[in-house]
């Protein structure tokens, strides 16, 4: 009787068969208006074999739902579109360190390279940690270059007076914008987002300005700042000058605010470059001169407590310090 042929059995393990991972879109999602939207379910699933174009859309959607500022979302989306144009169409699992190097080497400066690395690093962290469709990060071997902080050039007391006088001459809207940045240290975006209803006018001698943020990630920057009667006076002039009810106090575009500051600085005869950030620097140095500590400056400016921001406010403390003696003190003996 012939010997029966041996039949090999597959090895059995307790581990389930590994299937390709995929992030599937929901059939519906809640929009910003609280209504259900159904178009999301028409998106392709996100897998390791997805194109960069599909993955870019999923990443943008994640950033928007996480509360990132619109400008940040646009910047990251633009960088990833440039990245795709450089490396060509390929599935995200096939993107290599060489592709990342090509993208970074095409940068024109250190700041651009740093921003691009931040973009692709965040993108792959999303694919690995959130979407869970990749295991390896081709950006892991790259490190951002250190970009030293520049020493700010604040306005001197006499220049501040001239600037405010020129702003008042320009009109109440310009006067209000300049005052908010110079006297309260508001950023450009905070000025543009400020509404009349964000200010407590109960005490005209001491109005309180509330800075609000919509995104959860940026609510640590929210704060309230004590103003002076001067703000109330400027606001009343704005009301008298306006034909319609005032809601947003400075309803212009970001670049228009830059031009406004530049125009007023020229009218004031100030030779140095003046931007909205210059006015914020000036506010910070003035507060440091009045005795604000490092922690208090972080709070006044709405800055997160991290190493780079602490380095930033130390520049203001250094500029506010008393000047060194240029000559030896007279001999008192």
pLDDT tens digits, one per residue of 182-193: 999 999 999 999
Q: Kindly state whether residue 193 falls inside one of the protein's structural domains.
A: yes
- Domain match, 82 and 169 both: no
Q: Kindly state whether residue 13 falls inside one of the protein's structural domains.
A: no
- Domain match, 59 and 189 both: no
Structural domain that includes position 97: 22-130
- Domain match, 85 and 172 both: no
Q: Kindly state whether residue 75 falls inside one of the protein's structural domains.
A: yes
- Domain match, 193 and 232 both: yes
Q: What is the DSSP letter of 247?
A: -
Distances from the Cα of 249 to the Cα of 66, 194, 245, angstroms:
28, 6, 10
pLDDT tens digits for 54-93?
A: 999 999 999 988 888 888 999 999 999 999 999 998 999 9
- Domain match, 178 and 256 both: yes
Q: Kindly state whether residue 222 falls inside one of the protein's structural domains.
A: yes
Q: What is the CATH number of the domain that holds 117?
A: 1.10.150
**What tokens were used for 45?**
């699933």
Number of domains in the chain: 2
- Domain match, 161 and 296 both: yes
Q: What is the DSSP letter of 69?
A: -
166 burial via Cβ count (<10 Å: 0-12, 13-18, 19+): buried
Q: Per-residue pLDDT for 118 more than 70? A: yes
pLDDT tens digits for 293-307?
A: 999 999 999 998 988
pLDDT of residue 38: 46
Q: Per-residue pLDDT for 99 more than 90? A: yes
Domain C-terminal end among 111, 130, 149: 130
Average pLDDT value over all residues in the chain: 87
Tell me if residue 153 falls in helix, strand or coil: coil
pLDDT of residue 23: 57
* Span of 79-83, 105-109, 153-157, 273-277 with lowest mean pLDDT: 105-109
- Domain match, 125 and 187 both: no
Rg (CA), the chain: 28
Q: Which residue has the higher pLDDT, 90 or 144?
A: 90
Q: Per-residue pLDDT for 235 more than 50? A: yes
- Domain match, 282 and 236 both: yes
Q: Kindly state whether residue 152 falls inside one of the protein's structural domains.
A: no
Q: What is the mean pLDDT of residues 193-221?
A: 91
Q: Kindly state whether residue 197 falls inside one of the protein's structural domains.
A: yes
Q: How many residues comprise the chain? A: 333
Q: Per-residue pLDDT for 227 more than 90? A: yes
- Domain match, 164 and 299 both: yes
Q: Kindly state whether residue 32 falls inside one of the protein's structural domains.
A: yes
Q: What percent of the chain has pLDDT over 70?
A: 84
Domain C-terminal end among 88, 113, 130: 130
Q: What is the mean pLDDT of residues 222-236?
A: 97
Cα 248 to Cα 258: distance, rounded to the nearest angstrom = 17
Q: Per-residue pLDDT for 332 more than 90? A: no
Domain C-terminal end among 85, 111, 130: 130
- Domain match, 74 and 111 both: yes
Distances from the Cα of 288 to the Cα of 17, 20, 131, angstroms:
63, 57, 45
pLDDT of residue 109: 87
Q: Kindly state whether residue 16 falls inside one of the protein's structural domains.
A: no
Q: What is the mean pLDDT of residues 267-293?
A: 97
Q: What is the mean pLDDT of residues 306-315?
A: 92
Q: What percent of the chain has pLDDT over 90?
A: 71
Cα 276 to Cα 159: distance, rounded to the nearest angstrom = 15
Cα 168 to Cα 7: distance, rounded to the nearest angstrom = 95
- Domain match, 103 and 165 both: no
Cβ–Cβ < 8 Å for 149, 311: yes
Tell me if residue 46 falls in helix, strand or coil: strand
- Domain match, 316 and 199 both: yes
pLDDT of residue 148: 79
């Amino acid at each position: 009787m012939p010997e029966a042929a041996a039949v090999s059995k597959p090895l059995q393990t307790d581990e389930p068969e590994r299937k390709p991972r995929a992030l599937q879109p929901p059939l519906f999602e809640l929009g910003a208006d609280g209504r259900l939207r159904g178009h999301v379910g028409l998106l392709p699933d996100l897998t390791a074999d997805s194109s960069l174009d599909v993955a870019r859309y999923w990443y943008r959607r994640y950033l928007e739902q996480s509360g990132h500022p619109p400008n940040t979302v646009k910047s990251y989306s633009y960088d990833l579109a440039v990245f795709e144009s450089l490396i060509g169409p390929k599935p995200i699992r096939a993107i290599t360190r060489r592709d990342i190097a090509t993208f970074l080497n095409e940068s024109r400066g250190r700041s651009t390279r740093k921003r691009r690395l931040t973009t692709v690093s965040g993108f792959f962290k999303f694919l690995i940690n959130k979407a869970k469709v990749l295991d390896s990060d081709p950006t892991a071997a790259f490190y951002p270059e250190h970009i030293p902080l520049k020493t700010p050039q604040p306005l001197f007391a006499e220049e501040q007076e001239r600037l405010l006088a020129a702003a008042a001459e320009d009109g109440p809207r310009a006067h209000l914008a300049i005052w908010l940045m110079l006297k309260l240290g508001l950023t450009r975006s905070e000025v543009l987002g400020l509404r009349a209803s964000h200010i407590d006018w109960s005490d005209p001698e001491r109005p309180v300005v509330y800075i609000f943020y919509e995104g959860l990630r940026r609510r640590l920057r929210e704060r309230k700042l004590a103003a002076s009667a001067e703000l109330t006076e400027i606001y009343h002039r704005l009301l008298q000058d306006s034909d319609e009810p005032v809601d947003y106090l400075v309803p212009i575009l970001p670049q228009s605010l830059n031009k406004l500051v530049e125009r007023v600085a020229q009218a004031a005869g100030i030779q140095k470059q003046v931007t909205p950030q210059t006015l914020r620097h000036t506010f910070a140095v003035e507060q440091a001169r009045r005795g604000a500590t490092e922690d208090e400056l972080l709070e006044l400016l709405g800055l997160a407590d991290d190493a780079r921001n602490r380095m930033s406010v130390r520049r203001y403390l250094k500029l506010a310090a008393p000047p060194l003696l240029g000559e030896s003190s007279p001999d008192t003996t």
